[in-house]
C-alpha cells in the first residue's frame, strides 16, 4: 500500500498538482524542479528562531487527540472496514504510530548524527501491513499513537535552536531538507491521513 507525501510549505512555495492512481497521491514535476535547485531555502540562521521551534511541531503534538476524536466517535465495525483494498480508518491511525517509531524518530537520529542523507522510507509500508491493526483493540492503536508521538515531541523539546537548522538530503526528493522542514513535512503527512479518515467516516455515514 502506498501513500501520499507532501512537500512542506517552507521548502517549496509551489502548488501541488496531485494525480490519483488508485489510492496513491503524488506531486508531479516537483522532484525534477527540486533536482534543478529551484526551491526556496532561506538562511537557516534567520528562519529557525525560538518562536518557530514550537510552531514546527505544534500540529504534530495534537495529532493523537485528533485521532482519538475521530475514532472513538465511530462504530467499531466502520473503523476496520476496508474500501476497495485501501486501508481502513483504524489502519490509517496505526500507520501514523508505525512511522513515528520506524521512520521519524530514526530520522531525528540522522540529523543529530550529521549524516548527509536521511534514511529512506519504504513506500510499500510493510510494517503497517504486517501489524494487522484491524485485529488490534482500538485502545491499543490509539495508545501507540500517543506514546510514539510523545517520544518524538519530547526529543524535539530537548533540542537546541541550532539543531533545527541542520540539513540532510531527502533520499526520494533529492533536495536538502532542514530538520524544521522535515517537521512540516511530517505534519503534512499527518494531515493527509486525518483527511482520509474523515472521508472514510463520511462514506460510512458518520458525522
Q: With respect to residue 34, please indicate whether it lies within any of the assigned structural domains.
A: yes
Domain residues for 80? 18-203
Q: With respect to residue 93, please indicate whether it lies within any of the assigned structural domains.
A: yes
Distances in Å between the Cα of 87 and the Cα atoms of 13, 79, 166, 191 are 30, 10, 35, 16
Q: With respect to residue 27, please indicate whether it lies within any of the assigned structural domains.
A: yes
Q: What is the per-residue pLDDT across 60-69, written as a single tens digit (0 to 9) for each?
A: 899 999 999 9
Note the pLDDT of residue 73: 81
The Cα angle at residue 59 between residues 45 and 4, in degrees rounded to 5: 95
- Using the predicted structure, report yes or no on whether residue 48 has a pLDDT greater than 90: no
Lowest mean pLDDT of 7-11, 108-112, 144-148, name the range. Answer: 7-11
Q: With respect to residue 4, please indicate whether it lies within any of the assigned structural domains.
A: no
Q: What is the per-residue pLDDT across 124-145, written as a single tens digit (0 to 9) for each?
A: 999 999 999 999 999 999 999 9
As for how many domains the chain has, the answer is 1
Q: With respect to residue 144, please indicate whether it lies within any of the assigned structural domains.
A: yes
Q: With respect to residue 12, please indicate whether it lies within any of the assigned structural domains.
A: no
Q: With respect to residue 165, please indicate whether it lies within any of the assigned structural domains.
A: yes
What is the CATH number for 129? 1.20.120.450
- Using the predicted structure, report yes or no on whether residue 98 has a pLDDT greater than 70: yes
- Using the predicted structure, report yes or no on whether residue 76 has a pLDDT greater than 60: yes
- Using the predicted structure, report yes or no on whether residue 152 has a pLDDT greater than 90: yes
- Using the predicted structure, report yes or no on whether residue 158 has a pLDDT greater than 70: yes
Q: With respect to residue 99, please indicate whether it lies within any of the assigned structural domains.
A: yes
Distances in Å between the Cα of 104 and the Cα atoms of 46, 88, 148 are 25, 22, 10
Q: What is the per-residue pLDDT across 9-43, written as a single tens digit (0 to 9) for each?
A: 444 333 333 334 334 444 434 344 344 443 444 44
Q: How confident is the model at residue 57 (pLDDT cuts 50, 70, 90)?
A: confident
Amino acid at each position: 500500500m502506498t501513500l501520499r507525501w507532501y512537500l512542506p510549505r517552507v521548502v517549496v512555495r509551489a502548488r501541488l498538482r496531485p494525480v490519483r492512481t488508485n489510492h496513491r497521491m503524488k506531486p508531479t514535476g516537483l522532484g525534477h524542479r527540486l533536482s534543478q535547485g529551484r526551491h526556496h531555502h532561506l538562511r537557516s540562521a534567520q528562519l529557525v528562531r525560538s518562536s518557530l521551534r514550537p510552531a514546527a511541531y505544534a500540529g504534530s503534538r495534537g495529532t493523537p487527540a485528533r485521532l482519538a476524536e475521530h475514532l472513538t466517535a465511530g462504530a467499531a465495525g466502520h473503523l476496520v472496514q476496508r474500501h476497495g483494498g485501501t486501508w481502513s480508518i483504524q489502519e490509517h491511525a496505526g500507520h501514523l504510530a508505525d512511522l513515528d517509531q520506524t521512520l521519524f524518530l530514526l530520522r531525528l537520529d540522522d540529523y543529530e548524527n550529521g549524516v548527509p542523507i536521511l534514511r529512506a522510507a519504504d513506500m510499500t509500508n510493510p510494517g503497517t501491513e504486517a501489524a494487522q491493526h484491524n485485529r488490534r483493540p482500538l485502545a491499543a492503536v490509539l495508545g501507540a499513537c500517543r506514546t510514539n508521538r510523545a517520544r518524538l515531541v519530547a526529543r524535539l523539546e530537548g533540542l537546541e535552536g541550532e539543531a533545527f537548522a541542520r540539513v540532510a538530503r531527502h533520499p526520494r526528493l533529492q533536495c536538502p531538507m532542514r530538520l524544521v522542514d522535515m517537521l512540516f513535512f511530517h505534519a503534512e503527512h499527518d494531515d493527509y491521513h486525518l483527511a482520509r479518515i474523515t472521508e472514510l467516516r463520511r462514506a460510512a455515514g458518520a458525522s
